[in-house]
Chains A and B, each alone.
Chain A
Amino acid sequence: MANSDPEGVDGVRMTWNVWPRTKLEASKCVIPLAASIAPIRPHSDIPTLPYAPLRCRTCSAVLNAYSRVDFLAKIWICPFCYQRNQFPPHYAMISETNLPCELYPQYTTVQYTLQMDPYPNNPSNAPQLQPVFVFVLDTCMIEEELVFAKSALKQAIGLLPEQALVGFVSFGTQALVHELGFTEMSKVYVFKGSKEIPKEQVLEQLGLRAAGGRPTAGYPKGLQNGFTNTVVNRFLLPASDCEFTLNSLLDELQTDQWPVQAGHRASRCTGVALSVAAGFLGACLPGTGARIIALVGGPCTEGPGTIVSKDLSEPLRSHKDLFKDAAPYFKKAVKFYDSLAKQLVDQGHVLDLFASALDQVGVAEMKVAIERTGGLVVLAESFGHSVFKDSFKRVFEDGEQSLGLCFNGMLEIGCSKEIKVQGIIGPCTSLEKKGPNVSDTVIGEGNTTTWKMCGLDKSTCLTVIFDLSSTDQSNVPETVNPQFYLQFLTSYQDPEGKTLIRVTTVTRQWADISVSTEELIHGFDQETAAIVMARITSLKMETEEGFDATRWLDRNLIRFCSKFGNYRENDPSSFSLNPCFSLFPQFIFNLRRSQFVQVFNNSPDETAYFRVLLNKENITNAAVMAQPSLISYSFNSPPQPALLDVASISADHILLLDSYFSIVVFHGMTIAQWRNMGYQNQPEHQAFALLLEAPQVDAQIIIRDRFPVPRLVVCDQHGSQARFLLAKLNPSATYNNATDIAQGSDIIFTDDVSLQVFCEHLQRLAVQS
């Protein structure tokens, strides 16, 4: 695997690339069998085929490069179930020299386009496939914030494709659905904020039910023209048609007019607003790709989804409250959003959340709806902040930077019959489709081999956790089956509304551990393993009560080291690890210190936010979250990676820390002094100017590619903002051992153990018998 593209064409990375044969063996490996897949990650080498995939009669696996083909008999054998399938007539031309694309060995991943539209000439069908954007705007904000939010919205609307349908909901004490198609005057449907409104009622109350039969939830073919058209005309208009209306509407939109009692929070019915938006969207265009884009400026205090009372004397729930079960609104709110998530998934619609507030807004509660639908989430301090502004813009931008937002994704996983799927961690929802490959134990979204991803984009990444069949495989002749196969089939709608199916088939080897662990060890992917551990830890922290993450990680690491380390029993000094494992303990060390495990430094909202992204990003990005990267800039050498250690701080260096959510440019003391004196402005010190500029440029490169846009912190040594860096560094130098500190370096005021101490303990414990 090349470093530059560890995921390759397939976008698949696995903790173990060679699997033990038995469940028992697998459990001894400590790190679970898991794959991180990027279902629609674009790659130039993926061919697109203009026809439908050919599927196995019994297991419906798609014909792929690993299928054995009998050209004479025009038969192919499914590698998963060994079913012999006759080629259909249009494959009649097949021969050894005339292979269809999907049988080329290098095309393990292929993409099929489908002509879903039976009437390509019917123009009325075309707009139905246009993406739909429903903006849900909070109006309980100070004037200034609302102005920011409104201008961001206007900009976004300007960026939308002309045919994209747009709807608008604003909310405060009540939820207001704007009927954009009403030309006489601004017309708004007002829903009470304090009452949960079932979807049927939303439809009825918006006058949508009488217009036609209820379309069955499903796919575009379920649409009825008359029905959707009235809806389209009333609430959803092509961006080009309603841009003016929306702009003037936004101009007139004021902050919520309902009075706020002194000493109280504004009354904000986020829950109702979202369920109303979901409700009418569901009625409008079930099965079409639609996003609810919510801009929220504070906590929900009214109606379903309330996370805190209006009384300001009651603070928002903290992790401590959640831990002690002292957050009275939490569970109810989560339950509400859970049902909202179900509804959205049914409809195939996405919830995106852009939260900008100094305090929490309830991401922790909404997370379930966002993650299950594959929505985006961005947490910022203000709608005027670049984290929000730039991220929001990115969502709608076209071109290379585009997020490639797709809709209505459906993932099917097929695998060799010894293999079971426990579940997926990541932005998707189980469709509860049982099959022989479904494991009894569930991790994440399980109990199925099919998942729904209402929203997905280029970078979407899922972690599939596998298990092995508990039945003994010894009776399976090894010769027949030295390989096992996994097939990931993702169907989705791309931003233009085309329906695509992407099939990735991978094969890996079985290894007989009883013979040797060598193969196994070489098949280990440390980075992936660490991130999978991180994701599992996060999941367990959220779902298991009283789960002690640190201890669990430690125990697993110790077990792991015990299993794979080379040592003499009870002799710590004899301990050594295979280079294939060498980075793993450090990953775990940083993970233990990261925001994912040490939640108490963050609000539940932040934690939820971090976790959503941890689960959704690819391994490389996720690794940066858990273990930030540090680059050091100095006069003497080109920029080079530095140890994530306090020792890396030096007075005459500039450090660039990328912790994914924030990027810190840290000027050593001397550099800061020089800069303050303005040397960089003097021609003779152009080098200094360049040095100052270099990390900034690199930071911008990182920022440009990343979504959500990270927060850029520029700070100086000993400055207050320096904490953003110090918090991430290995505290090898603390006030406890401050004596042997290099000049210009720094110390961290903490009692946390350093990596060195950690490793010492690890060694000691690993070798214990």
Chain B
Amino acid sequence: MATPMPSGVPRQPPPQTDNPNFQQKQESLPDDLQKWNPNKPSPFPGSAPTLPPLVRPPPSSSTSAPSQPNSRPGAPPPLVVPGPNVPPNVGSVRPFGPPNGPPSPFRSPSGPPSPFGPPSGPPSPFGTRPPPGSLPSSMGGGPVISPRGSGAPGPGGRPGAFGSSSRNGPPVGVPPPMMVTGRSPGPAPSMGPFVGSPQASPKPGPPTQSAPPFSAPLAAPFGTQTWAPGQVAPPTAAPNAAVQPPRMFGMPPPQPNQPLPAIDQTGASLEDARKINSNQIPRPTTSYSKIQYDTRQGNQANIPPPASCDYIVKDTGNCSPRYMRCTIHQVPCTADLLTNCGMELALMVQPLAPLHPSEEPIPVVDFGEGGPIRCSRCKGYINPFMRFTDHGRQFICNFCGCVGSTPHEYQCNLGPDGRRRDADERPELCRGTVEFVATKDYMMRDPMPAVYFFLIDVSMNAIRTGATAAACAAISQVIADLPEGPRTMLGIATFDSTVHFYNLKRVLHQPLMLIVPDVHDVYIPLETDVVVQLSECRKHIEQLLESIPTMFQDNSTAESAFVAAIKAAFLAIKSSGGKLLVFQSVLPSVGMIALSARDAEGRGNISAGEKEPHKPLQPADKALKTMAIEFAECQVCVDVFTTTQTYVDIASISVIPGTTGGQVYYYYPFSSISDPVKLYNDLRWNITRPQGFEAVMRVRCSQGIDVKEYHGNFCKRIPTDVDLPGIDSDKAIVVTLKHDDKLQDGSECAFQCALLYTTVYGQRRIRVSTLSLPCTRNITNLFRATDLDAQFVCSLKQVANEIPFTPLLQIREQVTNICINKLLAYRKFCTTATTSGQFILPEALKLLPLYTLALTKSTGLQTDVKIDDRSFWINYVSHISTPSAVCLVLPQMIAVHNLDFDKQEENGSAIPPVLPLSSEFVSEEGIYLLENGVNGLIYIGSLVDSNIVRQLFGFSTVEETPTQFALQQYDNPLSKKLNDVVNEIRHQRCSYLRWTLCRKGDASGALFFSYLIEDATPKDGPSYSEFLAHLHRSIQAKMS
């Protein structure tokens, strides 16, 4: 033992930079280690088992080391210490080993305050500083972790090196000495070199540190945004603008060395909010260049870029933030710490999120009959953070710490770094996201076929408004996009006050229409032939879709038995499960669970709606939920396309899609001119987007953290799993987390989301995404590692959930309070007392006020919103992904009158820079496009050059603006460019958008201006600067 230690120790440290902010090369480490390892084996053949641990330790220790130096200005002393300490540590580590570790680790940190002093200390000394981030990172850095690693290797004392620990987040914290060791090696100098060659993985050297940290130091200091209300602002503002966009995500301003606290917290008295120069207010940056993002660097989780920007992910151990994004990229060690910071710990999970075209596809791993390797206790799936020991014969689960034996055929020797030698060839051992081929054990039955059942409203209104025709046309076009092959089944039914099925079997000359008239107790008219193989009956289906609109042309039935129809359709596909796509146009008025026009209730006293929960926002009938659960149990996923002119009680209807993993599409008021195209595109995307059936999802966390709740569109029957009859690339689920124990500072906490699902081609798969984050005791770290988008979306969804049950005023207040509390916490714990007069925003949260303001002015919280609009918003929010959520609340506005059609924007995107959402930026001589992922508004100023109008829209004066409109491309460059832009936006949003032309002076104009959330409106609140002033006052009040 002794021998290895010394050698190992020195080397390890250098390579690793712990600070997440730094871009690190993971590869470099292993390589380096491996090189080193070979030597080892020979000298210590007998000690082979110990080697692996050694290998790993380095990363962790190294990570910690570098960060520390960086973080701390005065780092030197610790460095000294380490060397000597190492050996002893080893010894001590061992005993505590893996499982028991926890207690000791905790003690150690606290106990040996002095040694840690420096690292942990930062908070206090630097606490004032916003960027303390750097410090915390070092803290989290993992010295703590290492012990574990060392513990495991037990035999070989040197594992004490802790390196391994980095992977095993939770368990054992190693005594302070470890840290020291880490540092000692990592003297700043070493870092230099790495900086230069961040990408050069092969380099043996400890190229951990990426250049950015250093290069960007300047930025970093300013990271925390200060907002100088009146006077001071200038300096800060400028830097911010420059700084933020930069591509380094992880890197926020970790540079502890740069003691620029003063700058960070430029504060100005908020005496007169109105004086604020709106240009200085924090706003989302206009354009992002493409960002390359590695999920882990230097064996350290890397803070991901904002959800809404364009980035390319390289999976280097952690899963892509697209799949799983934590609200804070460091995990607070204790529940108290979390409470103090006023933030929520949650994961935004989007298991089937679409990839950027440049990203590598998810590797599919087939373990054969045995199925994927899993922890025998907690059933966690094999992932890069499971540590192999005993020559690879055993592995330690990074969730529960259980030691499991490796199946014989899966065994592999470990390299000197403690990693399996085949780790890099095996995706499950080096990638954050892999997909396993599921075995029989994962199937209750054969994987279900791809079943699509279309249910179309043919009641009088649907027919007359053209909704039926639009639906039929859309379906008929979209059939071509359904998966090919005999496994694709399809059924069609229509409904008015009765339900009409169609026997589509081939032998019949024409489809046979089967009417189920009993809408109080529905049933299916045929056991078979209502759902048929698409490949065999294509002709009949097309014929039918063509004839439906004419067949019901004279339908005089105004009633709709929507619920009964859904139930009947459900019965038809019950045996297999499948997707049920419903096109609905009127309020379900007859049959089971008929609904009434509740929108009239309380219309008279809208103000009352603000003071008490609005009943019509709640589902009218509990039976809907019961029914929805039944659907979910049979793996039926319902999507509802509401094409209506009136109130349809979306609050009630959405219960079914909301429980079955589907969603509501809302076309109100339905226009037969502009909406059919969108309907088709929505349907097409609905069917062609990556998706799965009969899915079950579970999130596992390392010991100490547990899942509190899941939010999203799914059905939950047992506490641990969510059932998703359908899951697709657009659906996200929020998983809130809670502490059930303390975590060890410096360890890592892992989260794993496993989604078992069936592909449209009938393969059963398990998609496993693992995210391992460092733990920290430092509140400043938390603020630095905060993910604003995730934070915001998390609270957005929670707020949305509450809207039906809480008075609007109260909710708005609550939303503002969430914002205030976060800022207050930051103010309290992370800034110096001297800045009390200033309004200080942490860099990571600088947009929080804007987001918050936008939220209070969103459809969900606005005062004057139709019930259905609000219900739709609530439902939509419940499942949207982080990027869509941000853009939903904070629309993008661009000017289109002056599109420069020759110029590509810098980043290759066709979209011009976005404008702040303030009427200051809207000129009556311009044309503006504003979109939020759902609606697209084009505002035509009243003084626009008629030539431009003609070029773009085909009419010449603003007065001719039609109310219903379909964007067309005319033969001129401007129009082409506009279409390019629109298409680009559509592409980005995966949404066709509902387009409206707006002009001043009528409702459409008012609608447009209602999206300009920076403006003050009499009903819905203050302007952005007023709001900031309000926040500042509130915080000051609370501080005093």
Q: Name A residues whose Cβ lies closer than 8 Å to a Cβ of B.
A: 173-174, 176, 179, 182, 184-192, 195, 197, 201, 204-207, 248, 252, 257-259
Contact = CB atoms under 8 A, between A and B. Distances in A.
Contacts of B557: 207
A206 B529 CA distance: 23
B246 interface: no
30 contacts: A173-B527, A174-B525, A176-B525, A182-B513, A185-B510, A185-B511, A185-B547, A185-B551, A186-B511, A186-B512, A187-B512, A187-B513, A188-B514, A189-B498, A189-B515, A189-B517, A190-B514, A190-B515, A190-B523, A191-B518, A192-B518, A195-B518, A201-B518, A205-B519, A206-B517, A207-B517, A252-B507, A257-B527, A257-B528, A258-B526
A186 B517 contact: no
Contacts of B516: 189-190
Contacts of B513: 182, 185-188
Contact of A184 (B497, B515, B525, B547): B547
A608 B547 CA distance: 50
Nearest to A202: B517
B510 A258 contact: no
Contacts of B497: 207
Interface string B181-210: 000000000000000000000000000000
A163 B557 CA distance: 30
Nearest to B512: A186
A191 B524 CA distance: 9
B1003 interface: no
For the residues of B in contact with A, the DSSP-based class is loop
Interface in B857-912: none
A207 B547 CA distance: 21
Contacts of B517: 189-191, 204-207
B518 to A, nearest CB: 6
Interface in B487-520: 497-498, 501, 507-519
B277 interface: no
Contacts of B528: 257
B521 interface: yes
Nearest to A276: B517
Contacts of A187: 512-513, 515
A502 B525 CA distance: 48
A248 B521 contact: no
B1040 to A, nearest CB: 71
Contacts of B510: 185-186
B498 A185 contact: no
A259 B575 CA distance: 14
Contacts of A182: 513
Interface in B527-557: 527-529, 544, 547, 550-551, 557
A329 B834 CA distance: 92
Contacts of B550: 184
A204 B590 CA distance: 12
A197 B518 CA distance: 9
A207 B498 CA distance: 9
A258 B527 contact: yes
A197 B550 CA distance: 31
Q: Which among B501, B526, B529, B544 has the greatest number of chain A C-beta atoms within 10 A? A: B526
A182 B552 CA distance: 11
A259 B512 CA distance: 19
Q: Which among A192, A201, A259 has the greatest number of chain B C-beta atoms within 10 A? A: A192
B527 A259 contact: yes
Interface string B355-394: 0000000000000000000000000000000000000000
Nearest to A173: B527
A252 B510 CA distance: 10
A248 B509 CA distance: 9
Contacts of B501: 190
A207 B513 CA distance: 16
B532 to A, nearest CB: 13
B514 A184 contact: no
A176 B557 CA distance: 21
Contact of B508 (A191, A197, A205, A252): A252
A192 B527 contact: no
A586 to B, nearest CB: 58
A187 B510 CA distance: 11
Nearest to A249: B512
Contacts of A173: 527
Nearest to A248: B509
Q: Which among B498, B501, B517 has the greatest number of chain A C-beta atoms within 10 A? A: B517
Interface string B548-589: 001100000100000000000000000000000000000000
A189 B523 CA distance: 12
B523 A192 contact: yes
Contacts of A248: 509
Nearest to A201: B518
A189 B517 CA distance: 7
B498 A192 contact: no
A204 B557 CA distance: 12
Given A174-B523, A205-B498, A206-B517, A188 B529 contact: no
Contacts of A174: 523, 525
Across the A-B interface, the 4 shortest Cβ-Cβ residue pairs: A205-B517, A190-B525, A187-B513, A184-B551
A206 B498 CA distance: 9
Contacts of B509: 248, 252
Nearest to B496: A207
B627 to A, nearest CB: 18
Contact of A188 (B515, B518, B523): B515
Q: Which among A174, A179, A188, A248 has the greatest number of chain B C-beta atoms within 10 A? A: A188
Nearest to B510: A185
A258 B525 CA distance: 9
A472 B516 CA distance: 65
B503 to A, nearest CB: 9
A292 B547 CA distance: 33
Nearest to B516: A190
Q: Which among A186, A187, A190, A207 has the greatest number of chain B C-beta atoms within 10 A? A: A190
Contact of B514 (A176, A192, A259): A176
A207 B528 CA distance: 26
A204 B516 CA distance: 12
A298 B498 CA distance: 30
B499 to A, nearest CB: 9
A188 B551 contact: no
Nearest to A258: B527
B220 to A, nearest CB: 71
B546 to A, nearest CB: 11
Contacts of A201: 518
Contacts of A176: 514, 525
A258 B526 CA distance: 7
A201 B551 CA distance: 25
A708 to B, nearest CB: 34
Given A186-B513, A187-B512, A195-B521, 7 more contacts: A184-B547, A185-B510, A185-B512, A187-B515, A190-B523, A192-B521, A207-B517
Contacts of B508: 186, 252
A174 B503 CA distance: 15
Given A182-B513, A185-B511, A252-B512, A205 B526 contact: no
A600 to B, nearest CB: 40
B159 to A, nearest CB: 65
A185 B503 CA distance: 11
Interface in B736-775: none
Contacts of A207: 497-498, 517, 557
A185 B509 CA distance: 9
A205 B516 CA distance: 8
A190 B513 CA distance: 10
A185 B504 CA distance: 12
A195 B523 CA distance: 11
A509 B511 CA distance: 71
Q: Which among A174, A184, A248, A252 has the greatest number of chain B C-beta atoms within 10 A? A: A184
A8 to B, nearest CB: 53
Contacts of B519: 205
A190 B528 CA distance: 14
